[in-house]
Structure 1
Amino acid sequence: MIDRLRILTEELLIPAGLTLACATEEPWWQLPNPGPFAGARVVVVLRDLGEMLEVALPVRPNGTTGFVRSSDVSLSTHHARVVVDLGAHRVTAWEEGVVVAEGAVALGANGTPTPPGEFYMNEVQEQDAADTLFGSWIIGLSGFSETLPLIDGMDPAIALHGTNDPSVLGTDVSEGCIRMHDDVIARLAPLPAGTPVEIRS
């Protein structure tokens, strides 16, 4: 169990100019680095196979994995994690084994449910104006809606974010994202990229 936790919390930084590739001559998927937002591309290591690393990819379908060469990346380890309990409508975050944030959340509506699964934080954006649907912070996850089509030509990623309407917390109203009080999302924002986010059904 300890080894598995250690591997799942390793984060992988892909140097600029390199792309993700499987163990064949030609890459089957390419991800730009930096990603669509500021900062290095980060993915979570699932298995260390020596010369190759199996990593969780931020692509559809949810749960897709791929491989990168160990020599092409740098590894670092952290001890943070986030759990979203769909049944309880709650989020809890730990760092170094200590609870750093917890609170009620709003989840996806019936037609656009929040997908359960193992994801990770891959980008953090502070919002210029907190009085919006997204509140003060948006934390993008590696997962995607399993019901929505493309939006503006892009896959509909799910995210953790704040809200300007705390009255919706504890209900199912979103298009799959996880809304929480701005005070709670502000405590999640400093967690490192690559932090695992488990969404439990």
Structure 2
Amino acid sequence: MSPYYSARRLKLYLQRTIKLLLVFGLLFTAFYTGAAAEAASSSELLVVNKQTNKLAYFSGGKLVRTFSVATGKTTSLTPEGSFPIVVKIKNRPYYKENIPGGDPTNPLGDRWLGLEVNGTKGTTYAIHGNNNESSIGKYVSAGCIRMHNEDIHWLYPLIAKNTKVVITSTTLDMEQIAVKNGYPLGSKMFAASLIINGVSTRLKDSFVLDHSRVFIPLRESVALLGGTLQQDDRTGALIITIGKYKVTHQALSSTAVVNGKSVTMLPSRSENNRLLIPLGSLPELFGIQVKWNPQAESVTILN
């Protein structure tokens, strides 16, 4: 084989190899970019409740902000369901009346987050600004969701394409709507009440909501239930007595001993140097039946 022929074969081989590497590089970049965009959008959620004309922005498993909005003149005009944002436009013209984008008289404002609804590809239904701030909070649109211009200016840069928007009409609060639609919530601290024999007491220590599970402050709750709480000097375990139930529990663990019998429970948790126990464990630990009211943020003791 001649040296010329060998060199030519090597050159062709190198050219093919470089082309393959370039193709794989482009495919990897496209995959990575798409995966990153999907991950970013999946950590965010927008919820529109037509019953209250409010829009909620969730990010990183938490409710970040709630805004007043305007929706359709009739209940059917603003569609209900789950829709992705597929178009983001600044200064979109109002084609119907030939009003340029960014014009103060443009009823779309200067920010447009277009929704994919029944094949409309983000051109028909959107979350957008307005040219009439007094309309926000009312039922006035042809189907879109209007926001105060200042509010959508804040929201617009935070929202990625493919972010899910849930539109509904319900008495549920925003976090309940999010959970119902598969959005995993992180923890939230809030003030709540314990209702015993019809008497409601607002606790000084905060409750915690974590992935739809409620945790209540242990010390205050035990005192209101007429129980006692002590600590074993040797092991550090807590000894809680309520009525005929004696419970021994090591803080932050997932077990307890109830009247001498070991039971499994959700782990207790510590917030601001206060120990909280899962509300759902009260029946097994203390024989107490409870009812959680998320709207009133209260726990009723049923027996």
TM-score category (smaller protein): 0.5 to 0.7
Q: How does 1:1-201 map to 2 (within 5 A)?
A: 74-76=34-36, 77-78=39-40, 79-110=43-74, 113-127=77-91, 128-129=101-102, 131=104, 132-144=106-118, 157-190=124-157, 191-201=159-169
Shift of 1:105: 0.8
- Say how many residue pairs are matched: 124
Identity %: 29
Give the counterpart letter for 1:123 in structure 2.
Answer: V
Distance in 1 (CA, whole Å) between partners of 2:151 and 2:67 is 7
Distance in 1 (CA, whole Å) between partners of 2:113 and 2:153 is 10
Runs of 4 or more above 6 Å deviation: none
Contact 2:54–2:69 (Cα < 8 Å) also in 1: yes
Residue aligning to 2:272? none
- The Cα RMSD (Å) is 2.8
Higher relative contact order (CA 8 A, sep 6+): 1
- Unaligned regions of 5+ residues in structure 1, if any? 1-39, 41-70
Write 1 or 2 for the structure with the bigger share of helix. Answer: 2
SS in 1 for 2:35: strand
**1:112 and 1:156, CA in 2 relative to 1: closer, same or farther beyond 3 A?**
farther
Contact 1:142–1:158 (Cα < 8 Å) also in 2: yes
Q: Deviations over 1:60-109 (max 9, x none)?
A: xxxxxxxxxxx9x9433121110001000011112223444421111111
TM-score, normalisation: structure 2? 0.37
Give the counterpart letter for 1:90 in structure 2.
Answer: K
Contact 2:114–2:123 (Cα < 8 Å) also in 1: no
Q: Deviations over 1:95-137 (max 9, x none)?
A: 2234444211111112862011001111111114152201120
Contact 2:127–2:145 (Cα < 8 Å) also in 1: yes
**1:101 and 1:123, CA in 2 relative to 1: closer, same or farther beyond 3 A?**
farther
Contact 1:130–1:164 (Cα < 8 Å) also in 2: no
Write 1 or 2 for the structure with the bigger share of strand. Answer: 1
Larger Rg: 2
